[in-house]
Each structure stands twice: as structure tokens, then as C-alpha cells.
Amino acid sequence: MKLLLGFALVSSLAHAASPSDCWTLVHHGQNARACFTQLTQSSSAYERAEGAWGLEDWQAANENFRDAAKVASSHALVKVRWALLLHERFNNAEAADLFREAIEQDPNFAPAYLGLATVQAEDYSGNPNEAIAKALALNPKLAGAHELAAKIALDNDNRELAEKEADAALAIEGEATSAMATRAALELIADRPPDVWLAKIAAVNPHDGAAYMQMAHHLELHYRFNDAATYYRKAVEKQPELWAAHSALGIEEMRLGRAEEPQKELELAYNNGYRDPATVNSLRLLDSLAKFKTVKDASTVLILDPKESDLLAPYVQEELHTILATYSKKYAMELHGPVQVEMYPNHEDFAVRTMGMPGLGALGVTFGQVIAMDSPSGRKPGEFNWGATLWHEMSHAYIITATNQRVPRWFTEGLAVHEEGQRSPEWRDRVTSDILLAIRDKKLMPVDKLDRGFVHQEYPGQVLVSYFQAGAICDYISNTAGEAKLLEIVHAYADGQDTKQALQSVLHLSPEAFDTQFLASIDKQYGKEAQGFDVWRAKLKALVAASEAKQYDDVIANAPAVIALYPEYAGDANAYELLADAQHVKGNATEEAKALSAYMHAGGQQPELLKRLAALQEKAGDASAAIATLTRVLYIYPVRDTELHKHLGTLLMAAKQYDGAVREYAAAVTTRPLDMAGAQYDLASAYMAAGQRDKAQETVLLALEAAPDFRPAQKLLLELQQTK
Amino acid sequence: MKRLLLLLASFIVTLHAAAATYYVTVAGLGGEPDYEQRFTANAKDLDKVFRGIAGAHVLTLTGTQSTAAQLRTALAGVAQQATANDDFVLVLIGHGSFDGTEYKFNLVGPDLTAVDIAAMCDHIASKRQLVVDTTSSSGGAIAAFERSGRIVIAATKSGTEKNATVFARYFVEALQDTSADVDKNDSLTAAEAYTYASRKTAAFYESQKRLATEHAVFNDTGRGEAVRDAGGGQGQLMASFTLLRYGAAQKAASDPAKQSLLAKKEELEQKIDVLKYNKAAMDPADYKKQLTAALLELAQVQGELDK
């Protein structure tokens, strides 16, 4: 229906066949080739553009639109239609510019606002509802605006509004197939048959693949990945030449971890000229993935870059086994088959996996039992904790399975955030300045509407705030009613209850009553920090200035007060680090360690600061604390750091924790250090200490093969022989 | 061929075990206090390491001593004393410049060109020479220094890499850090020091998230382009050029009573080298068996040497 946008205004431009006539044929699934060919003969550049577009001659369409737009008397519609062409051909940036130019040219032209909203909705950028409201204010009978509003509402899981907007569109335009697709998707999401709506769509256009694509999209956003694939498949069956659907199907199949189908579908789309970034980048990713290394055991499949697979696989596999054991017990269920984890050292490769998906998508994403995430080497040290991300994503795998994909976004995200904190208090979601400001400005959402904060943001940073709020809600339920209640809510969703019903049945609270209690707890916990945020910022600024001026006594005197105002702040220029630096200059190692320890417990993750703390702990004779501190670094940045593994291995050896020493020395070997023989000897010694003599012999021979005169290794070899 | 070269390399090491090595280190003009201090510190660290080597002849020029005249005198002195069997090592630390055709090493007062310095080195009888030019633009000096029997290491791949370098720092560190001795034979070769310094230099730029402005290269065949990695004939001489020996190796090498054990040790080392060379062509089990036996025997001989 979007192609019909605004045609009412141009009927006066029509000749024998108007663009509107041709696109109406398309909308009804009829052959419009002759109609569009006729348009290409027109003396009007605009009509030639529409004709070329209909014949899929994108270049000619673009050039003719450009010519048409140059005419001083051209209508804003020309720019809107040109922008829609660009939007269809994967250029949303220039499309948005043209929509804005059209608005500038004619501020009362409703389709221009609708076009802008269309681009914003697809990119999850800006606030498309604002532009829709403007369009409808100018033209209340613009059915397309209601259709788009319905789609956005359903993306946000605002089902009532989605239904209302779809019906509004249908009241204006009886053949509004996108509105029908929204209604069909609503039925599917509610596990009701969509047949009535499918029949209505077929009556308008029996070959309307786009409507099925839209249904698939809504299913995808409701975690119904298998169903989404089914509907993308139906879309290509209905309209085999709908290349966008082939691409979407290929990407969905990729997300489901399927082997050959993605390549086939994506290539089909690509070879037929559908070369949007998602298609091109997904094909590129499939090429990269072919070179990745697969490490399997009975319950896990790891897909890792060969350059780091030897290093990461043992850590990830061990953590996954812990997670599987923990969640299986906690959620009283087993996953069906192994879980697949893909780790991408190139963030762009990971980004391909989340293209077209709403929300953060920045660290990891779960598609059923397939998890894609950044590798620690894909992020700057200190930016990312792969362990926390794995616990988070695995929680989704369980909850989505446990509820048969019937769970609101806020709850599965909230529970995943909560699980990070359950694994380690240092991994729990920290209040950022955006979150404090949202708390202060009363921007938290009611619990039964919280899903709306995850997809189409109403203000910058709302998605992050929503993650925090969802996690805080689960923390609150756990703290006040017990952890078991969270599982009961999972079961409630699995039984088909919505949030209102689930809260009522499990907590015996209405959403409003729950909100009142929860917001009071948030106010109690963070109200002071939120109110004192500006004071904290001013005091931190002064502390940074004192540190830069080397006024270390001032830093030592004032840092505790700054920390007390906002203890969770462990980002750049945090008071903990400034205090530690000042104590260091003063030669007070104990206080320096105390400040760094507080930083660590506040969730600080800069590897260099943690290693500095470990060194101080070791120097103070507390080797076990140093081991614990360095072990934390393994979850943050275990890559490109031979010394970390070597040193931790040495500490573990000294502590007689031989299995850990083997793990760390083996990790050091995988980093291909300059001193390879030395690293292999360390590993052989750890094997020997752990009683694994065969491995000790094998490894010491590797050390000696590289360095035959390596005395300690020679001695170990002799020892192994003598005690054989 | 490689096997022969390996054997030849070991032979050369044997012959030179008792020969002397002449070390000349020059910290050129810093220009700024920071550089002056850094260059002098690097040179003094090297001086300390070299003076710890038994029988080493060490001469180090820093600060105001670092003039063209002093360097000429120093190298002329080596030329008078060193015999063909003695090794010669020249380390240049500081700033260099390259105008497209000529490299100059910055000294107090008039600078010296690479051609000047090479000519002085040519007067030294030592058949095996090592020139380590750690300065900026040092890649521009390679062609002038190249000569058969001379290893040339430069901190930069060309004369156009003009930024101050960090290679010297890691070259010095290589001589202080026993982990640079990757084959653990208690001797540090020029190749090991080069590899250590190159990798540490690259890691430095990576850790600083800076674009690397220096890429060390070497040439030890006396002809052709300098290279970054061994291969194609390059690297053989550098791998056999011992810069320093640690503790026991140094002591054993100078103990006449242990010469037969040393000979046995070298025989076993050669056997292991040959085995490793033939590894691809051997049955894996047989290779492992023979290697284990040779390594065990070598360990026992080493045990005797250490007594």
C-alpha cells in the first residue's frame, strides 16, 4: 500500500494511464507491465520515473525523478515518490533527506511526513509516531499513516493500539492490505487462526507476498523465529519474485542456525538485484563463517574465529556448562539439543546478525538456541564482559523455549539482566547517568507497557533505560517475593497469560499496584542519587581538576564524598581511580588497593586497573585475592595478553590449583608467545603437578623440540623418564 | 641445502666460541633533553650487558663523546685489534635522517653518513659483523652498510620512516630478558634479539592504538633488499651470530675440561636439527621416538656439563 502513497493528489497529472492506475494493478496482483511501459513514453519526467520504477529500471527511475524535481513548479509529491524509490532501493539516509526537503517545500503535504515516519520506523530511529501524528493532523484520511501506526504499535507489543489503527486504516481504505497483515499478525501472536484476514488479503491480491513478510516480521519481533521463517517462506511461495522475502528468509534461516538454505535464499535475492546491506553483509558473513572453527561437545556448539578458537573455546565451553547446569536446575527444564554460540572478533560481522532487529543488539543476540555475540577481541578492553553476556543470552534461550516463544520482551530481557547479577553482583546492570536522569524525570514506563520502551524509542537512550528497568523489576520481585516467583511468572506466560494476568496470578497485584510498589523501591534505592546527580557531576569535575593539578591531598579528602553520591559510577574518570592514583603517589599501597577493590566491586572492568589491584594484593601477600581479581579479567579481556595467563598460571601453581594452572598455561601457549618453549614448559610442569604425566611428557617434548637446550625442560624430561 | 647450512652455522658457532667480540655502541645527538636521556640510558644499559660478557671488548660513546671524530677513533681502534675470527658489533642509537639519497647518523657536531660509517667498518678485519641501526630513517642506511658477512638490522624499513623510534628500547630489553632466548640454549643470537625487538615494537604501537611508524628489517646476505622475516636465504647468518651467552653456557665455553662434553652436546644438537629438518618425511612415531631419545641424551650431557 505504501506505493500508493499520495496518489490522490496527482490524478490531475494523469494522461491515458496514470501512475496511480498502474500501481493499483500491482496492488491487486495484476500484470501492470504494459501500463508502466506506457508511462515511460510520457512527456512528463515524473511519469517516466514512475514507469521505469514499475519496470524495475531503478537507474532510469532515479534519473527521471531527478529531472522532475528540477522543475521549479514541481509538486512536493515528486520528492516524496523519489524518496520512496530510494527507500525501496536501500538508501534510507538520502530518502530521509528528500522527505525533509519535501516538507520544506510544502509543510502541509501529509505524505511527506508519512514517508519520513516510514524510514524512521524501519531504522528504529527518531520518533516515527510524531511524524505520523503530523501526517494525520494534515490528512485524517491518510490510510497509510494508520497502517504504519498499527505496525509500530505491534512492534511495541501495543496490541490494542495496533488493532485500533489497523481498523482505522481499513475504515478509510477497504483494501489496505498492510492493515490486514497487522490484524493477521495479531491473531498469530495470540495463537489464534489468521484465516479470515488471510482470505481478505487474498481477495485483494492473491499473490501478496509483502503481507506475509509483514506478518513474519511481527512474529520475529515476538521471538517467534520458527514461525517467522514459516511466514517468510509463505511470502516467497505467494510471490516468488519478491526478492526481499527471499533475503529475509535466508537471514531468518541463518538465525536459526541452518546450514545450506540461507546461502541459497540470499544468493537468489542477490542475483536478482536485491542487494541491500543485510543481504550483502549476510552473504559476506557466510563466507567468513565457512572459515570459522566449530568446537562441539554433547551440549554445546561453538563457532569461533580460528585465530582465537584455541584460546576462547575452553573458557566459553566451561562457562556454558556451568550455565546449562544452573539454568536447567533453576528453570526445571532442558534445552532441546545443543546450544550454539557464535563469537565474532569483527564487530561488523556480529552487527550483520542483528541487522533489522530492534533494541541494543550491541553485545549479543539470541535466536532460539543460537546465540551470536561479540568476541572479547571485538571490543575495547573494559567495554565488554563476555561472561555476563553469555549468561544474559542463555537466559533468553531458556525462557523463550520454556514459554514456547510466548513471552513479552520486557520480561525476558529483565530476567536476563537479573541473571547477570545473580551470577555475580559485579555484573549486574549499573545505573548510568541516562538512567538516573530517567528516574529523576519520572520517565520509567508502567510495567504492562514496558515493551514499548525497547523497540521504537520515545527519547534517546530509552532502550537502555528499559533494560535497566526490566532488570530492576525482576530484582525487585526476587527480593520481595522470592526468586521462585520469577519462575512462576515464566509459567504464567507459558500458559498464555499476559503481563496483567501474570502479575495478578503470581503476585496478586494489579499492574498499577505493582508499579506503585516498584517505583517506591526505585525511589528509595536511587532517588537520592538521581536528585543529587548534578551535585555529583560538579564534584567529580572538581576532583578531576584537582587530580590534574596534582593536588593529591584534595583528591584523597574529597573522593569518598564523590563516590558516596553515586557509588555505581565506574566509567571514565571515576572517583575510585582518581583516589587510587592519589594514594599511589602518596605511597600508600594499602589505601590504593582499597580504592581499586571498591572500584572492582562497583563493577569497574578496566583490565589494567584490575591487574594493578592484583599486583598490589600479591605484593601484600594475598595471593588468593590476586587470583580472584585476575580471574575476573578473564571474563573481560582474555585475548592478546600472554602475560595475564602466564602470571595467573604461576599464581595458581603456587596455590596448588593445578587444573587452573593447566588452563592458564595452556591459554598462554595459544597466544603464540615469543617464548613458546617457555610457555610449553610451564604447561608441562602444570600437567606434571596435576598428575597428567602423559600430557606432561608430550608437552615437554614440544618445548624441547623448539629449544633442545632448555635446561628446566630437560630436567623435567629426565624426571619423567626416571619415574616412569 | 638447509641441513648443510645448519651444520655450517653450528660449525661457525664452535669456531667462534673462544674468539673475542668487539662491541661499539653510540648514543647520537638527542636534540632534546628527553631524547638525550633516553638514548644515553639505552646505550648505558647495553654497555652494562656487554661488559658482563667474558672477553668482550666494549666501547660506548654517549653525550659529548658522541662526535664523528670519537667514532672514527673508536672504529679505527677496533680495526687495529680485531682479527678475522673476532666478531664485531656496532649499535647506533639516536636520530637519523635521509634526504632521498643519503642517510646521516646525527652526532654532536658534524654528522656521519652511512657510507662513512660503512667504510670505517670495512677496515675492521672481522669476517662476521653486526650493525644495528636503531635510528629514525635507518632503512635508508641499509644499502650502504650491506656487505658479505655483515648483518644489518634497521629499525625502519626505509629512509622515509622518519619518526623517532622505539626499536632501540626493545633491542636493549632483548639483551636483558632471558625469555628472548627462545631456543633456550643460553645464548642470545642476533636473530633472537631482532625477533624480540620487532615483535615488542609492533606490540607497543598496537597497545597504544597508534599507527606503526617503524618496521624493522634486516639483511644478512650482503645483497638485495632488506626483509622483515627470515627466508629465501636471509636470516642464516643472523641466526648463528651469538650476541651474548648467559651464565653456565659462558662458563662452560671457557672451561677446557668440558670441551669434549660440549662437542658431544653440539653433535646431539646437530642430530636434533637434522631430525627436525626431516620431520615431514618421517613416520611420526619414528620421529617422536628418535627425537625423544636424542633429547634425553642431550639432557643427560647437559646434566654432566652443569655439574
Locate A85 and state its grid cell: 524509490
Rounded to whole angstroms, what are the CA distances from B119 to A143, A341, A724, B112, B264?
89, 63, 61, 11, 41
Q: Which of A423-432, A665-674, B7-16, B235-244 has the lowest mean pLDDT?
A: B7-16
More confident residue, A535 or B9: A535
Nearest C-alpha in A relative to B174: A674
- Which of B202, B112, B110, B109 has the alpha carbon at shortest distance from B155? B202
* Average pLDDT rounded to a whole number, residues A282-293: 89
Q: B248 falls in which pLDDT band (50, 70, 90)? A: low
- Give the pLDDT band (50/70/90) at residue B13: very low
Q: Which of residues 259-288 of B touch A (CB under 8 A)?
A: 265, 268-269, 272, 276, 288
* Nearest-neighbour CA in chain A from B296: distance (Å): 7
Range with the poorest average pLDDT among A86-90, A260-264, A348-352, B135-139: A348-352
CB of B185 within 8 Å of a chain A CB? The answer is yes
Q: Worst-scoring range by mean pLDDT, A154-168, A332-346, B7-21, B27-41?
A: B7-21
Q: Does B295 touch chain A (CB under 8 A)?
A: yes
Spell out which residues of chain A touch residue B299, defining contact as CB-CB under 8 Å: 704, 714-715, 717-718
Q: What is the mean pLDDT of chain B?
A: 90
Are the C-beta atoms of residues B132 and B90 closer than 8 Å to each other? yes
* CB–CB contact A705 B295 (8 Å): yes
Structural domains present in chain A: 1-140 (1.25.40.10), 163-254 (1.25.40.10), 293-513 (1.10.390.10), 532-640 (1.25.40.10), 643-724 (1.25.40.10)
Residue A151 has a pLDDT of 96
pLDDT tens-digit readout, B251-299: 666 677 778 888 898 899 889 989 998 999 999 999 999 999 999 999 9
- Residue B14's pLDDT is 38
CA-nearest of A509, A515, A385 to A450 is A515
Selected residue of A694, A705, A715 to mutate for chain B interface (largest B Cβ count, 10 A): A705
Q: Does any CB of chain A come closer than 8 Å to the CB of residue B188?
A: no
Nearest CA in chain B to A703: B183
Query: What does the pLDDT read at residue A713?
Result: 96
Question: Which residues on chain A are in Cβ contact (under 8 Å) with B247?
Answer: none
Interface residue A706 vs chain B (CB under 8 A): yes
Q: Which residues of B touch A696 (CB under 8 A)?
A: none
Rounded mean pLDDT, A592-615: 97
What's the pLDDT score for residue A8?
A: 43
Cβ contacts below 8 Å, chain A against chain B, sum to 73
Query: Closest chain A residue to B287 measured between Cα atoms?
Result: A705
Contacts of A677 in chain B (CB under 8 A): 182-184
- Output the average pLDDT for chain A: 93
A704 touches chain B (CB under 8 A): yes
Q: If you measure CA to CA, which chain A residue comes closest to B306?
A: A711
Q: For residue A577, give the nearest of A622, A540, A621 by alpha carbon.
A: A540
Assess A399–B contact: CB distance below 8 Å, yes or no: no
Chain B positions in Cβ-Cβ contact with residue A705 (cut-off 8 Å): 272, 276, 291, 295
Q: What is the pLDDT of residue A378?
A: 86
pLDDT surpassing 80 at residue A354: no
Residues of chain B contacting A647 with CB distance shorter than 8 Å: none
Place of cell 647495553: B46
Secondary structure (H, E, C), A347-380:
HHHHHHHCCCCCCCCCCEEEECCEEEEECHHHCC
In this prediction, residues A362-384 reach a mean pLDDT of: 87
User: What sign has the CA pseudo-torsion B95, B96, B99, B104?
Assistant: positive
Q: Counting Cβ atoms within 10 Å, is residue A479 exposed (0-12), middle (13-18) or buried (19+)? A: exposed
Query: Is the minimum CB–CB distance between B292 and chain A shorter than 8 Å?
Result: yes
Q: What is the pLDDT of residue A357?
A: 56
pLDDT digits (tens, 9 = 90+) for B219-240: 999 999 999 999 988 999 999 9
**Nearest residue to B191 (alpha-carbon basis) of B225, B145, B240, B154:** B240
Residues of B in contact with A608 (CB under 8 A): none
Interchain CB contact of B26 with A (< 8 Å): no
Cβ distance B182 to A707 less than 8 Å, yes or no, reads: yes
C-alpha distances (whole Å) from B256 to each of A546, B19, B86, B260, B268 are: 66, 14, 19, 9, 19
From chain B, the residues in CB contact with A701 under 8 A are 288, 291-292, 295
pLDDT at A16: 73
Look at residue A301 and tell me whether its pLDDT is greater than 90. yes
**Interval A81-85 mean pLDDT:** 97
Q: Which of A641, A674, A715 to mutate to test the interface with B (most CBs of B within 10 A)?
A: A674
Residue that wins the pLDDT comparison between A465 and A259: A465
CA distance A659 to B6: 40
Contact A147, A135 (CB under 8 A): no
- pLDDT over 60 (residue A175): yes
Give yes or no for residue B18 having a pLDDT over 80. no
Put simply, the chain A residues between 634 and 673 with a CB less than 8 A from any chain B CB are 640
pLDDT given for residue B305 in this prediction: 85
Instruction: Give the Cα separation of A28 and A431 in Å (integer).
Output: 52
Compute the nearest-CA separation of A293 from chain B (Å). Answer: 25
Which stretches does DSSP call E strand in A158-299? 293-296
Residues of A in contact with B10 (CB under 8 A): none
| pLDDT band of A211, cuts 50, 70, 90 | very high
Structure confidence at residue A355 (pLDDT): 64
**Given CB atoms, is B23 within the 8 Å cutoff of chain A?**
no
A366 or A250, which is more confident: A250
* Cβ-based neighbour number of residue A714 at 10 Å: 26
Query: How sure is the predictor about A196, in pLDDT bands with cuts at 50, 70 and 90?
Result: very high
Hey, are the CB atoms on A721 and B296 less than 8 Å from each other?
yes
Is B202 touching A (CB cutoff 8 A)? Answer: no
Closest alpha carbon within chain B to A707: B183
| Residue B178 C-alpha from the chain's centroid | 15
Query: pLDDT value at position A260?
Result: 82
Residue A704: closest CA among chain B residues belongs to which residue?
B295
Q: Out of A678, A709, A717, whose CB is closest to B179? A: A678
Are residues B269 and A721, on separate chains, in Cβ contact within 8 Å? no
Residues of B within 8 A of A713 (CB-CB) are: 184
Q: How confident is the model at residue B249 (pLDDT cuts 50, 70, 90)?
A: low
Chain B interface mutation, best of A608, A699, A709, A723, highest count of B Cβ atoms under 10 Å? A709
Q: What is the reported pLDDT for A37? A: 96
- Cα nearest neighbour of B288 on chain A: A701
CA distance B200 to chain A (A): 9
In this model, does residue B11 exceed pLDDT 80? no
Inspect the interface and report whether the beta carbons of A704 and B180 lie closer than 8 Å.
no
Residue B7 scores a pLDDT above 60 = no
CA–CA separation, B152 and B163 (whole Å):
20
Closest approach of A624 to chain B, Cα-based (Å): 27
- Write the pLDDT tens digit of every residue in A675-690: 999 999 999 999 999 9
Q: Which of B6, B182, B186, B270 to mutate to test the interface with A (most CBs of A within 10 A)?
A: B182
Question: If 0-12 CB within 10 Å is exposed, 13-18 middle and 19+ buried, where does residue A695 land?
Answer: middle
Alpha-carbon distance A674 to nearest alpha carbon in chain B (angstroms): 7
Is a pLDDT exceeding 60 seen at residue B10? no
A676–B contact, CB cutoff 8 A: yes
- Interface contact A708-B288, CB threshold 8 A: no
Tell me which of A60-69, A500-509, A555-564, B9-18 is least confident.
Answer: B9-18
Residue A85's nearest CA partner among A137, A50, A132 is A50
Residue B217: closest CA among B198, B241, B190: B198
**Is it the case that residue B28 has pLDDT exceeding 90?**
yes
Lowest-pLDDT range of A176-190, A256-270, B235-249 = B235-249
What pLDDT does B16 receive?
44
What's the confidence (pLDDT) of residue B51?
94
Q: How far is B299 from chain A (nearest CA, A)?
A: 5
As a whole number of angstroms, the distance between CA B29 and CA B35 comes to 8
Q: Which residue of B has its CA nearest to A716?
A: B299
CB contact under 8 A, A701 and B180: no
Select the residue from A608, A669, A672, A711 to test the B interface by mutation, using most B Cβ atoms within 10 A.
A711
* Interface contact B291-A706, CB threshold 8 A: no
Distance CA B295, CA A457 (A): 67
Name the minimum distance, in Å, from the CA of A621 to any CA of chain B. 26
Q: Roughly how many angstroms between the first and final C-alpha of chain A, as a whole number?
A: 81
